[in-house]
Structure 1
């Protein structure tokens, strides 16, 4: 259940829905497996897995939903290779080169023929909705996947106005200061061992370091040349380790052993739903504290841009 990544969004004027109404809306957009001629599909599934039909879990204002995304993996190179082979055969048989429109039609024909035989990849993406703080966090590896889930939620609710969470000080500026000047680091922030430094002029090359001393001479020399931090690993208050990116995404989340132990020692009677809700409650408490701390360190929340309906 524990999130690995988090993309954060501020919710504006959210529709007022009871848990029952939201559950019914999720049921209407429930996931169905891909048809033989479909390239991709997304819908809502039960966060607790196959043993549950419950698509919404709500604990003290924190809502958990899970989207399931399926897509057929048909590499463009496979279609292109087959198209070129068939085109060559036709050109030889007809004694003339095929026109562009004919090759495009042949390509589409091959795509439709190969699609039902393509491998299917299934991906689950969890969504956390903090209704008290008007915040949505999506456990997705990329911003694109997070936006896909938001689109599904908009379709489910009819409308939803959100903007990416933004702060007055940019993460890039703050992370660069924390690296270059230890006096400006928050007291409860401990540097990790990963960093990404980008040149802001010239070739805009990127210097990436892993398992490296971030206070070492190599990093400090790079900062002195004008590079700025676009990713930085650190731990907050010894409770949560993460990699912060320049677009305020939280990557590679690692929760403290004490928190994981607390969750594992909870009496859930081997009930998967109760286990899920226990983990979710403890996780969201830790994430809420972390997000509030980050917003404070970054100068407070910025005035949001026009929300996306």
Structure 2
């Protein structure tokens, strides 16, 4: 159980919930497959998949959950062709032109007729709640996907006081300072070989660099021209590498050999025990990385957070 991405939400006020309370709340919105006439449906499923029945997997105060979304796949060209055939038949039989509004109605009818035979695409999104750390962490590659899960969780719980964390200075300012050496690079951070630079002007361009020394002259020339760093590949404490963007999204997480070796040392063939060990190692590592990263980025603005 290793997350590939991490979108962090900060609890804005104390939020304590037990695994039992969370299980009860989520059970009301447990996943059910799409009905014959439904295009999409989502709900909570066991994070352990076939190895578990509980909707919440807890370890050391961290609560892992999983949201499953089912979508019916209806190829646009197939629907368009069926609509055109029906419209052409009407025009021939009734001797009149089929207008756009009527075509839209035919499209709805065709869609409903095809839904029962449509293939389904399923996707699972994972997240964990860490009440003691004051964060919700979602394994999502985009802010929208993360917010969709948070919104669904808020609906199930009735209340979820979270927001993305805010830092005292713009991340792009800090990233740029690290590369042009106007801001000291923290000792726990090592630069990777990838970044994205943007011209801050209204019609400014974007430069994506990969496989380069980020202190090379090519990068320096773009910085001297006023471009800002909006994405940056880094390694944290020689243990975790990832790409960090200006919205504090963590993508392409890779946990280092030290953590992998610790997992390999778990002497068991039990799939659940292995899953639990990986989840514990990951959450403990992220519990150090998240606050450390916010501090490295200039410190967190906690003015809107209600402390206990």
Alignment TM-score, normalising by the size of structure 2: 0.93
| Counterparts of 1:57 and 1:202, CA distance in 2 | 47
Whole-angstrom distance in 2 between the partners of 1:114 and 1:304: 52
CA drift at 1:250: 0.3
Tell me, in whole angstroms, the C-alpha distance in 1 between the residues paired with 2:37 and 2:303.
41
1:4 Cα deviation from its structure 2 partner: 0.4
SS at match of 1:159: coil
Q: Quickly say closer, same or farther: Cα 1:183–1:229, change in 2 above 3 A.
A: closer
Give the Å deviation of 1:15.
5.3
Moved more, 8-17 or 210-219: 8-17
TM-score normalised by structure 1 residue count: 0.92
Residue 284 (structure 2) pairs with residue 285 (structure 1) = yes
Does residue 250 in structure 1 map to residue 229 in structure 2? no
Matched-pair contact (CA < 8 Å) for 1:43–1:69: yes
Instruction: Give unmatched runs, 5+ long, in structure 1.
Output: none
Tell me, in whole angstroms, the C-alpha distance in 1 between the residues paired with 2:185 and 2:246: 17
Matches within 5 A, 1:133-152: 133-152=133-152
The C-alpha deviation readout for 1:42-95, integer Å capped at 9, x for no partner, is 111111111211221222221111111111122444433432343233223322
Match of 1:123 in 2: 123
Q: Find the counterpart in structure 2 of residue 235 from structure 1.
A: 235
Aligned to 2:98: 98
Q: Distance in 2 between matches of 1:106 and 1:254?
A: 49
Deviates more, 1:251-260 or 1:70-79: 70-79
Distance in 2 separating the partners of 1:208 and 1:144: 23
- 1:15 and 1:157 in contact (8 A); partners too: no
- Deviation track 1:211-231 (CA, whole Å, cap 9, x = no partner) reads 122111211111111111111
Q: Determine the structure 2 residue equivalent to 1:299.
A: 298
Shift of 1:108: 0.8
Return the alpha-carbon distance in structure 1 between the equivalents of residues 29 and 159 of structure 2: 14
* Mapped partners of 1:160, 1:202: distance in 2: 36
CA contact (8 A) 1:31 1:45 kept: yes
The question of whether the paired residues in 2 share the 8 Å contact of 1:242 and 1:252 is answered with yes
8 Å CA contact retained: 2:13, 2:305: no
Contact in 2 for aligned 1:200/1:227 (Cα 8 Å):
yes
Q: Is the 8 A contact 2:167 2:299 kept in 1?
A: yes
SS in 1 for 2:124: strand
- Report how far residue 99 of structure 1 moved: 2.4
Cα–Cα, structure 1 residues 14 and 117, in superposed 2: closer, same or farther, change >3 Å?
Answer: farther
- Between the aligned partners of 1:34 and 1:249, the Cα distance in structure 2 is 32
Contact 1:243 1:252 in 2 (8 A): yes
* TM-superposed deviation, 1:305: 5.8
Are residues 175 and 85 of structure 1, via their aligned partners in 2, closer, same or farther at CA, if it must alter by over 3 Å?
farther
What is the aligned length? 306
1:50 match: secondary structure: helix
Deviations 1:268-293 (A, max 9, x none): x3222222111111111111111111
Structure-2 separation of matches of 1:80 and 1:212 = 46
Write out the 4+ residue segments of structure 1 that deviate beyond 3 Å after TM superposition: 13-17, 75-78, 303-307
Whether contact under 8 Å (2:174, 2:183) holds in the other structure is no
Contact 1:166/1:304 (CA < 8 Å) preserved in 2?
A: no
1:100 positional shift: 2.6
User: 8 Å contact 1:163–1:304 — kept in the other structure?
Assistant: no
**Conserved? CA contact 2:11–2:305, under 8 Å:** no
CA–CA distance in structure 1, aligned partners of residues 47 and 287 of structure 2: 20
Moved more, 221-230 or 244-253: 221-230
